[in-house]
Amino acid sequence: MQNVWVLASLWVGLALIATLLAVWFKISTALTEIVVGTVAQLIISAFAVQGDLGAKSEWITFLAGTGAIVLTFLAGAELDPVIFRAKWKESTIVGLVGFVGPFLGCTAVAHYVLHWTTRSSWLAGVALSTTSVAVVYAVMLELGFNVTDFGKAILAACFVNDLGTVIALGLIFSPFTIRTVIFIVVSVALFVVLPFLTPRFFRKYGGRVSELEAKYLLFILFAMGGLAVWSGSEAVLPAYVIGMVLAGTVGKDHILIRRLRTLTFGLLTPFYFIRAGAFVSVPALAAAPLVFVALFFGKMVSKVIGLFPTVKAFKYEREEGLYFTLMMSTGLTFGTISALFGLNHGIIDQAQYSHLVATVIGSAVIPTMIANAWFLPRHLLHKSGEEKPVSQAVTLSAERGTP
Amino acid sequence: MSGRRHNTHFQRMLVAYDGSSQSEKAVELAFSLAECIDSTVLVFAVARPPEPATSVELGAVLDDAREHYEEGFKKIREKARAHNLEVKTDIAVGHPGEQIIHRAELEGIDLIILGRRGRSMISRMMLGSASERVLRYAHCPVMVVH
């Protein structure tokens, strides 16, 4: 498709459909965008002789890449540095185990069970090593654990887990050269300087209609992304750490974060997630469904083996709900970023990419589906494990105003 | 408090509020009941995170929900003042059915009032009906307003 505006309208139209589906079914927009991208690509491949969604167009790649970078930055900026400083010991150990368990476990499953190449297997390990901070946080809010020491430590651990994923993605697949050294030195210097420089710069020049803050942040993110790619690494690595180091300053600027969210959700992430979905091959998934099963259970088992004794060692054994969520949930953002990185760099092929994305989605969706299908309010489950008797019910028509 | 009867059955009522016309009706009904029988009312809203939650979207959804409900609560509090009623408002996060049941137990609620949303069959299968779940598991009488 040569006409840029026709192609843009097609993609934004798909984003609109995905958003409507998310609204109707109360599911995350990221998930519906991936699925809509997959289905749209499938339909176009089936009915158009030479057509595709244009997912490899330069401008779509740029928008999608920017979406991944800004999304990763915002995810990092949600860290609460005060909590992290208070709970750094437990969080670091639980987070590292949460990362290392599935990283090694899924790598082993991919290599020894599925017979993927060594690099493909490492990539599978990275993509499935994440833990969704958001899923864990949502469960904590529901259970009221977000204000407890246990909840805060677990949440900080999720950030450490994802940091492990991002560092592994950024360093494992890049050759260690002088460029890597330059990238690391510049990154560390910037991570030290930014928390001091940024708030002062914003205080002096910020708060104007010209959105200086957004331009400043995009400049830093693009520049560091460029340096990362130049050194053979991945642009989201510095973006996540920049988000984390600015969490205590920029992360607390509610208005700025809301503006960045608008930019991200309105324009950037639809391109990122629809593009991620467009590369998923449904025929490849249908041809080898057991690959999904092997990766899914590989992730679950390795998470449980790693985290169960660790969480128990910190005497958190009573809060089962939370650490089961921690064990099972996979972050859609980091999971798909890792898989897409592998596809773009020829580390995995399209079939392997499709299985990884399906596993990432599966491990995010299946626990939720199970919870909804066998629904019983959690606090009642803790009490008796039995369904309570049906309450007395009165149905009343407001129009008539009588029972 | 002339014209109000003291009752021993429905001293504390919880009204589920989501900003819909049905929930507005439920609030109105709770107010008229509270006026008659001298009860306190908790107007309770639940922000439901998208499933599976993704980090930036979750924050955005919760912020929007809080703003949306606080706007509705302002009007409700004004109305309550005009009727000289004791009204509390609160927002929780999670599955609406579960949060309503849990809060009702915690607060020792005697009557839950909620509006019935006209969801489609698919939507009900995917999400489950909050009113059905509350009817099924609540510890106290439940009034569903059509």
- The pLDDT tens digits of the residues spanning A244-260 come to 999 888 888 888 888 88
Nearest to A372 among B56, B58, B128 (CB): B128
Q: Does this complex have an ipTM over 0.95?
A: no
Model pTM score: 0.83
Note whether residue A385 is domain-resident: no
Set of chain B residues whose Cβ sits within 8 Å of the Cβ of A24: 123
Strand, coil or helix: what is A11? helix
Interval A2-34: pLDDT, tens: 688 999 999 999 999 999 998 888 788 889 999
Set of chain B residues whose Cβ sits within 8 Å of the Cβ of A133: 55
Contact A187, A238 (CB under 8 A): yes
Report the CATH number at residue B42. Answer: 3.40.50.620
Contact A393 B123 (CB under 8 A): no
Nearest to B123 among A24, A29, A395 (CB): A24
Note whether residue B126 is domain-resident: yes
pLDDT confidence band for A343 (50 / 70 / 90): very high
What lies within 8 Å, CB to CB, of A75 at 6+ separation is A133, A162, A240, A243, A333, B55, B56
List helix spans (H) across A29-148. 29-47, 58-77, 81-86, 88-108, 118-127, 133-143
- In this model, does residue A380 exceed pLDDT 70? no
Query: What pLDDT, on the 0 to 100 scale, is given for residue A93?
Result: 86
Query: What pLDDT, on the 0 to 100 scale, is given for residue B15?
Result: 93
Query: What pLDDT, on the 0 to 100 scale, is given for residue A382?
Result: 47
Task: Indicate the range of A86-95, A279-288, A383-392 predicted with least confidence.
Answer: A383-392
Query: What pLDDT, on the 0 to 100 scale, is given for residue B86?
Result: 85
Note whether residue A391 is domain-resident: no
Note whether residue B25 is domain-resident: yes
Average pLDDT value for chain A: 83
- Show the tokens assigned to B123: 């939507």
H/E segment holding residue B75: helix B55-82
- In this model, does residue B75 exceed pLDDT 70? yes
Which range of A120-124, A129-133, A386-390 scores highest in mean pLDDT? It is A120-124
- In this model, does residue B6 exceed pLDDT 80? no
Mean pLDDT computed over A281-300: 92
Containing domain of residue B56, as a range? Answer: 12-145
In Å, how far is B138's CA from the nearest CA of chain A?
A: 6
Q: Which site among B14, B29, B46, B57 would you substitute to test the A interface, given the most A Cβ atoms closer than 10 Å to its Cβ?
A: B57
Q: What's the number of domains chain A is made of?
A: 1
- In this model, does residue A346 exceed pLDDT 70? yes
Q: Searching chain A, which residue's CA lies closest to the CA of residue B28?
A: A398
> How many degrees, rounded to 5, is the angle at CA A321 between CA A315 and CA A322?
65
pLDDT confidence band for B93 (50 / 70 / 90): confident
Note whether residue B88 is domain-resident: yes
- In this model, does residue B83 exceed pLDDT 70? yes
| Gap between the Cα atoms of A139 and A131, Å rounded | 13
Query: What pLDDT, on the 0 to 100 scale, is given for residue A395?
Result: 45
Strand, coil or helix: what is A329? coil
Q: Searching chain A, which residue's CA lies closest to the CA of residue B46?
A: A142
Average pLDDT value for chain B: 82
Containing domain of residue A278, as a range? Answer: 4-376
Set of chain B residues whose Cβ sits within 8 Å of the Cβ of A134: 49, 52-55, 57-58
Interval B8-55: pLDDT, tens: 677 899 999 988 888 888 999 999 888 888 888 999 999 888 877 777
Note whether residue B6 is domain-resident: no
- Show the tokens assigned to B110: 């005697």
Query: What pLDDT, on the 0 to 100 scale, is given for residue A388?
Result: 46
Contact B50 A29 (CB under 8 A): yes
Query: What pLDDT, on the 0 to 100 scale, is given for residue A2?
Result: 66
- In this model, does residue A268 exceed pLDDT 60? yes
H/E segment holding residue A13: helix A4-25
Interval A356-371: pLDDT, tens: 999 998 887 776 666 5
Query: What pLDDT, on the 0 to 100 scale, is given for residue A33?
Result: 93
Contact B55 A75 (CB under 8 A): yes
How many H helices and E strands in chain A? Answer: 19, 1
pLDDT confidence band for B111 (50 / 70 / 90): very high
Query: What pLDDT, on the 0 to 100 scale, is given for residue A402?
Result: 34
Query: What pLDDT, on the 0 to 100 scale, is given for residue A51?
Result: 67
Note whether residue B2 is domain-resident: no
Q: What's the number of domains chain B is made of?
A: 1
Mean pLDDT computed over A313-342: 71
Report the CATH number at residue A314. Answer: 1.20.1530.20
